[in-house]
Structure 1
Amino acid sequence: MKKAMGSKMKIDIPVGRGRPTKPVQSAKLSNEFGIIARNFISLPNKWKELTREDRDAALIRCHERFEINLDEHYVKDSCEDILKNRSRQWRYKLKQLFESAHSEEEVRKIEVPELTPENWNRLCDMWIDPKHKKRCDINKVNRTKLKSNHFMGSKAFVAARAELGENEPEKVEPDRIEFYKHTHYKSKKGWSSLEAETHYNNMKDLKDLYTSGEASMTTDEIVDTVLGTKSGYIRGLGYGPKPNTTRATQRKTAELEDSLRKAKQEAASAQNNLQNRLNAAETVVENQQTQIQDQQSQIEALNSQLNTIVARQEEMFRKMQCFARSSPSNRDGAP
């Protein structure tokens, strides 16, 4: 996915958002993972069954398409979460194809170009399992109880909320209460459901109550009280943002441990370099001391030789004087 100039599109996933806040980035990244889920990796019965090899292959392809920092744990986890969502959507479409068949024999003969026969049969085995059918029936009933559908269509909530903030003079995103209204109310259509309107009014009442009295509740606490909570999901914000969970804490701990390990490695490397420099300096000093000692020995030897030469010269001079005094010409005088 490249721009006209040939450079990769830059993808930013702010901490706490779970996906890009820019609508174009969000759509492009989601579409790319949809392509990857359908064409480049196997489709597991459950997300946990997807191999690390397939996950890494998906991330590598994503990195080839976009300028994205997958070294950041949060960015990497967010990308895997988007891939998980797109894999689930792909599995849902295949489930519809499965249900269109009239018999198991017919189902087994279906050819899905994007899947290997083994992968397709593994999915069929799951969908045929009576226990799985029972869970699906229960989930179908639960979905019919959902009365507060939103008006956002396929648009990512994270990007929509960020876009609303960009249009504000102070560039501040709406809080969760007002964003809930934005996603469930249209001026021309009204509320998406009576239940959605009731939820909003209850949240407004709680906000007025707890901002005017001595007791206090944050906006997040108010929304969670009215809409309820769900593991791994913040109601009213769509896919992407996640509550502070044990996994998030573990990830943060892992990041701190990585930082600590890198700091220790850098300190050990610096200490090792310093020790090497110290050893080199000591070697130089030792060599210099050896050279000085050698030079001192040479000087002492030269001094000794010089003294010997001087002594010999003095001895020869004395002998010459004695010889001169003892010669006949010096005793008898001139003729």
Structure 2
Amino acid sequence: MPPGRVMASTPGQKKRILEPDEPALDRVTRQKAKMATTTDHQESLLRMDSETSVQMGDELPHMDEDAMTTKTRLRKGKGLERITKSVGRKVPIQIAEGMKRPEKPLQAAKLASECGLVTRSHPPVLPHFKLYKNNASLLENYIGKVDANFEMNTDSETIKTACKDILQKHSKNRRHQIKKKYFDTIAANTVSIKSPVPDLTDGEWQALVEMWSTPRHKGTCVSNKMNREKVVYNQRTGSRHYTSHIFATK
């Protein structure tokens, strides 16, 4: 038998003789698999930030791999924080006069996401949007919290109009989700007096129930449902705003 090496075998298997020029198989341990997974994850984060920087038109500064390690945070919106850290400054928000959304898809997506996070976390859930507009301090606080994560001119009427429009849509969607889950599927005589939603006060819940129970609101819901069934050309751009969709398809 030619000289060779004997490879250690696992219990229940025969020994295998390797040829002199045949490399030995490297064992994949748990530690090696964990290190490989961590390296691939860091490379994907760096590649994602590089693509994001290209969309914003900026050069991505050099960063250590330790800076890209994800950390546990109480706040959501990690994508925006990672972009801000990689670029070295806050994401700028530029909205043309007369428009309600930024043209660049990245700016529009991050602005909508951040406004949604602020809407779900801070402002109360009111029955009508006119109650938001009549409360100047509430709107100022809302825009200020959004501005904390972006580079934008909060004194511009265009920026204020865009933030108000996003607040109107998010508050309407949130009322719809609460109504669909906690009101529509429950009999009228068994509706809870106290708020079933953790972040909704009893007063806000009772105001919503009172509005949903009026005949006028019920008639509006029926007419809106009939009008939606008449739509021939539905939206095909997903969650992307039409302005950003046109900019991306140029």
Normalising by the residue count of structure 1, what TM-score does the alignment of the two structures yield? 0.47
Are residues 1:103 and 2:188 paired?
yes
Q: Distance in 1 between matches of 2:211 and 2:201?
A: 16
- Cross-structure match for 2:70: none
| CA displacement 1:283-323 (0-9 Å, x = unmatched) | xxxxxxxxxxxxxxxxxxxxxxxxxxxxxxxxxxxxxxxxx
- Cross-structure match for 1:23: 105
- Cross-structure match for 2:85: 4
Q: Distance in 1 between matches of 2:122 and 2:162?
A: 19
1:75 is matched with which residue: 130, 143, 159?
159
RMSD: 1.6
Match of 2:85, SS state, is coil
Are residues 1:87 and 2:171 paired?
yes
Are residues 1:163 and 2:248 paired?
yes
Change (3 A) 1:107 1:153: farther
AA of the residue aligned to 1:96: K
Q: Distance in 2 between matches of 1:56 and 1:85?
A: 18
8 A Cα contact 1:37 1:87, kept in partner: yes
Larger Rg: 1
8 A Cα contact 1:42 1:54, kept in partner: no
Are residues 1:134 and 2:215 paired?
no
| CA drift at 1:24 | 1.5
| CA drift at 1:133 | 0.7
| CA drift at 1:100 | 2.1
2:136 is matched with which residue: 32, 46, 52?
52
8 A Cα contact 2:93 2:151, kept in partner: yes
| CA drift at 1:110 | 4.5
| CA displacement 1:17-58 (0-9 Å, x = unmatched) | 211111111111111111122210012211111122211111
8 A Cα contact 2:104 2:244, kept in partner: yes
8 A Cα contact 2:102 2:108, kept in partner: yes
Match of 2:95, SS state, is coil
- Cross-structure match for 1:150: 235
Matches within 5 A, 1:250-265: none
| CA drift at 1:124 | 0.8
Q: Distance in 1 between matches of 2:102 and 2:191?
A: 42
- Cross-structure match for 1:33: 115
8 A Cα contact 1:43 1:119, kept in partner: yes
Matches within 5 A, 1:274-293: none
Q: Distance in 2 between matches of 1:8 and 1:114?
A: 29
In structure 1, the gaps of 5 or more residues are: 166-335
- Cross-structure match for 1:270: none
8 A Cα contact 2:94 2:102, kept in partner: yes
AA of the residue aligned to 1:27: A
Normalising by the residue count of structure 2, what TM-score does the alignment of the two structures yield? 0.62
Match of 2:190, SS state, is helix
8 A Cα contact 2:194 2:205, kept in partner: no
Q: Distance in 1 between matches of 2:226 and 2:189?
A: 25
Q: Distance in 2 between matches of 1:152 and 1:47?
A: 26
Q: Distance in 1 between matches of 2:195 and 2:173?
A: 19
- Cross-structure match for 2:150: 66
Q: Distance in 2 between matches of 1:100 and 1:8?
A: 43
8 A Cα contact 1:101 1:107, kept in partner: no
| CA displacement 1:72-129 (0-9 Å, x = unmatched) | 1112111111111111111111121221223343343442122111111111110011
In structure 2, the gaps of 5 or more residues are: 1-79
8 A Cα contact 2:195 2:201, kept in partner: no
Match of 1:99, SS state, is coil
Identity of aligned residues (%): 31
